[in-house]
Amino acid sequence: MTRMIQCISPVDGSTYAERPALPLAEAEAAVARARAAQKDWAALPLATRIEKVKAGVEALNGMKDRIVEELAWQMGRPTRFGGEFGGVNDRTAYMSDIAAEALAPIVVEASDKFERRIERAPVGVVFVLAPWNYPYLTAINTIVPALIAGNAVVLKHASQTLLVGERLAEALHAGGVPADVFQNVVLDHDTTEALIAARAFNFINFTGSVAGGAAMERAAAGTFTGLGLELGGKDPGYVAADADLDAAVDSLMDGAMFNAGQCCCGIERIYVHESLYDAFVEKAVAWVKTLKLGNPFDADSTLGPMANARFAAVVRAQVAEAVAEGATPLIDPALFPADDGGAYLAPQVLTNVTHQMRVMREESFGPVVGIMPVKDDAEAIALMNDSPYGLTASIWTASADRAAAIGDQLDTGTVFMNRCDYLDPALCWTGCKDTGRGGSLSVLGFHAVTRPKSYHLKKVTK
């Protein structure tokens, strides 16, 4: 019997979309078509591939109204925020602009005796497993450089955002990327793991949970398939004694609450110098009280439901445990009457928290943040590093030297000063520890989807 993959809408609990999972034989045939089509795609001039990819993203922009509505139904983001097009366009433009330089050969010698160079060759077929929280942005991070570099791409999107892969395929095909070169597939876990174990792909990029990343590694064991893994996060913010308090509150709380806290690099824990702690907490609570939890199609809603009731249940459990262990909740849920005990979840700010509490150690991925006072930079550094994760860290200070010195001591993928919850396409998006390995975007993003290929050519002399 064919298994159906469903998207249950967090808006009203209805089945918003469902698609049949491809049987293994059909999935194998899809990958075979991708592999057969890849060589001709790679043979096109780089400028032609760039032109077709950019045309595809332009076609995606033409679907904006439809996509924004679909995102609200699929994962709950309020329509007032307009989708993810700013980031999609910026990342596509930047990766297109640097492609020629990033993929250019390194010429060691070009003489009358020898030609020696290192080229970047496409790996072949790239498998992208994308998450639901920023379903277009996270997919584009790998799709765009992979296609530009001459690879074929097979996309498997999260069940919560089933329609995203279809829109990406529709748009890229309209832009001129051949149907076999970019394919959207619906797969169950068993088929996914079987394809990986059978060496169907040359590179796999997975964004998701730590458990999901471990499953990818187990499936790929012994295949020598390259893996890029962006997994969990528990990103910290540190407000130093010389910080701009109002700016720190505004940015860090937005980083904690935007998208209902469902951001890979969202702020999940905040450490504040003791001289600013009371003022920061007071302002943070006032900031959260201005949010409006409600239906994502309501123009007044600034906070929609979490993508699934089971995700909200995890956050509720973490908060309840923390309060039972001595944490102080500062937001009265009665201020957010839309909280229904299911996907709609009131935001929360916790004080009197410790690192023994699950809410300060495990990924929450929801609208909750714990705030702790610290006496100095050293204590803040120790607490920021006291985590199994390492994606980003946000430092708030008037001194760039201080931020750099602190950043040098942090086990993290990105160090921010006076900003957070942001992705710069010119910088490598990467993590360490249980957050995973590999990197996307920047010049290094092209390196992830290509392999070095050396040429040592001895010329015949008479």
The torsion angle over the Cα atoms of residues 387, 306, 59 and 28, rounded to 10 degrees, is 70
413 Cβ contact list (under 8 Å, min separation 6): 390, 391, 392, 428, 429, 430, 431, 432, 435
CA 213/CA 436 separation, integer angstroms: 8
**Cβ count near 80 (within 10 Å):** 15
Phi, psi of 312 (to 5 degrees): -65, -35
Q: What angle do CA 120, 126, 131 make, to 5 degrees?
A: 130
Phi, psi of 22 (to 5 degrees): -65, 130
Q: Which of 7, 263, 264, 265 is catalytic?
A: 264
Q: Which of 230, 263, 268, 420 is catalytic?
A: 230
**Which residue has 């491809």 as its token pair?**
22
160 Cβ contact list (under 8 Å, min separation 6): 7, 8, 74, 75, 132, 307, 308
DSSP annotation of 89: H
CA 9/CA 25 separation, integer angstroms: 30
CA atoms within 13 A on the CB side of 314: 15
Return the percent helix, strand and coil in the chain, to nearest 5.
45, 25, 35
Cα 152 to chain centroid distance, Å, stands at: 21
CA 322/CA 268 separation, integer angstroms: 14
32 Cβ contact list (under 8 Å, min separation 6): none
CA 386/CA 383 separation, integer angstroms: 5
Phi, psi of 217 (to 5 degrees): -65, -40
230 is catalytic: yes
345 Cβ contact list (under 8 Å, min separation 6): 260, 293, 305, 306, 312, 315, 316, 339, 366, 367
Query: What are the catalytic residues?
Result: 230, 264
